[in-house]
Amino acid sequence: MTQTQTWQLLAQHRAQTADVSLLSRFDAPDRFQAFSAETDGLLLDYSKTALDTTALSLLERITAEAGLADRISQMFRGDKINTTEDRAVLHTALRAQTDEPIKVDGDDVLPAIRQTLQQMESFAEALRDGSIRSSTGAKFTDVINIGIGGSDLGPAMATLALAPYHDGPRCHFVSNVDGAHIADTLKGLDPQTTLVIIASKTFTTIETMTNARTALDWLRATLGDDTSAHLAAVSTARDKTSAFGIAPERVFGFADWVGGRYSLWGPVGLPIMIAIGAENFRQFLSGAAAMDRHFRTAPFRENLPVMLAMTGIWHHNICGYGSRAILPYDQRLSRFPAYLQQLDMESNGKSVALDGSPLPRDSGPIVWGEPGTNGQHAFYQLLHQGTRVIPAEFLIAAEAHEGDLPHHHQLLVSNCLAQSEALMLGRSREEARAIAAKRGFTGDALEQMAGHLSFTGNRPSVTLAYPKLTPFVLGQLIALYEHRVFVEGVVWGLNSFDQWGVELGKELAVSLLPLVDGSAPAEAYEAKDGSTRGLLSKLTHPHP
Ligand code: F6P
């Protein structure tokens, strides 16, 4: 049986069962137990999808045909599976809780990882207890992380998520090259008590380097030329950090086998550690390591990353649903959808296979979302009654940090459950007619109103339920999604670890700058397309 045949069988199975309602699947009394999986207190409920035993067997066959088990081993042992960049993919080594060597080019990478973690801990704790001080002898009250993409989204998301654990300096994140971002951030801060971390894997990213130079000028304006006490860097490029004037002991390095969007487990996570302390950061790593162990050992049906990936493939490739909504019912996960956008869309937004040939089927879906309950009052209308079906992924804690506000959390849980229930149940034409009649509609008006009030329902969702948003749980959740993206990438046969598609825009931005600042010769304008010329004229010679 070839891979293509298995896909065809799965598509046929979908066609034969598409009319079975989600609700009727619960006629089987153990549907929830059979179509959910749990590890270390984290539950994935995928029972409100149209997946059944036959679909799962075929999906399991697809993963076997894609060589998933081998690909997992290759990733964890450090094979160079990022083939277009000739790199290993070892973010898992940053959180590994083993002394078994993990080798890249024959060398064990663990000693250097452990040493850097120590260096981070000494620095973060000294900053927190005030033994590292500013150039004026003051205790640091604020830290600004300057970075973008993977050097920003991970630490910014996680620092916000773990706010109840903050007992260190305040952390701020500047990413956008729009001067508004750094200007608004600096406005409330005192250079004498502010530390700036410049986080860039490559130390060449134009947004980060531009913001870093602006921050340096801001520091110098108050502190004079010696700002070294106020600077630190996170990068793989030590030559560039020293050229920028950052003392070597203030540089936290990592290797090129840590992808930007997978980097928050190492030095890119420094702001998280500064905010919550070394012990809590270790808990965060432990949560991810626990998910790694689970991913490597749990059987197919019990394996959370694999099953989350299977819901994704089923919805995207078989049901034809092109996007997925990430809906955390957890205000502190408000940046989680943005974080997952990079993780998922930069990893799997590809249209060629590992060998460079066109992919035979759709790859990465559109990922988007906002926290509940806010989204309910904004875009959920389309989730319930729009013409497209959008599978939803709900995230919810059993317990809130605000133990003194139990009613808030009860309402939050009720709303979360109500939404997945409403998406599944919908409202039939008969029920809609009864409601319209109660509201006084009769005859044709009643029929019309019933049309507006009915919902098709039958819209799938999955729910991730966890005990409480602790550092351990956050580590589990992020690692779960990392591995989900990996499994989907393996099934689609693509390289989830490069990002060539972002290069062209970067190159064009650099070449457009002289046209924007007016230093380019006239021929350079002529070489541009009509739209770009028109927009340049509007933006570089604005009229009132
Ligand atoms: O442009 C995309 C990207 O390369 C991301 O992959 C990366 O996370 C981001 O830019 C920032 O890169 P760096 O950490 O090298 O500044």
Catalytic: 13? no
> What does DSSP assign to residue 401?
S
Q: Which of 202, 241, 261, 503 to mutate to test the pocket of ligand 1 (most atoms within 8 A of CB)?
A: 202
Q: Verify whether residue 350 is a known catalytic residue.
A: no
Per-residue pLDDT of 138-177, as tens digits, reads 999 999 999 999 999 999 999 999 999 999 999 999 999 9
Task: Say what the pLDDT of residue 491 is.
Answer: 97
pLDDT of residue 1: 44
Verify whether residue 346 is a known catalytic residue.
Answer: yes
pTM across the whole model? 0.97
Single out the catalytic residue among 207, 346, 393, 482: 346
Is the interface score ipTM higher than 0.95?
yes
pLDDT at 2 over 70: no
Ligand 1 atom at shortest distance from the alpha carbon of 261: 8
Instruction: State the distance from the centre of ligand 1 to the C-alpha of 1, rounded, in angstroms.
Output: 41
Angle in degrees, CA 397, 399, 402, rounded to 5: 115
What digits encode the pLDDT tens for the residues 371-422?
999 999 999 999 999 999 999 999 999 999 999 999 999 999 999 999 999 9
Q: How close is the Cα of 506 to the center of ligand 1, in Å?
A: 11
The Å distance, Cα 95 to ligand 1 centre, comes to 21
SS3 392: strand
- The token duo for 233 is 């860097």
Q: What does the alpha-carbon distance between residue 316 and residue 240 come to, in Å, rounded to a whole number? A: 42
Length of the chain: 544
Please, what's the b/e burial string for 507-524 (b: 16 or more CB within 10 A of its CB; e: otherwise)?
eeeeeeeebeeeebeeee
Across all residues in the chain, what is the average pLDDT? 96
Ligand 1-lining residues (CB < 6 angstroms): 148-151, 200-202, 205, 208, 260-261, 346, 499, 502
Q: What is the pLDDT of residues 304-331, one digit of tens each?
A: 999 999 999 999 999 999 999 999 999 9
**How would DSSP label each residue in 162-193?**
TGGG--SSEEEEE--SSHHHHHHHHHT--GGG
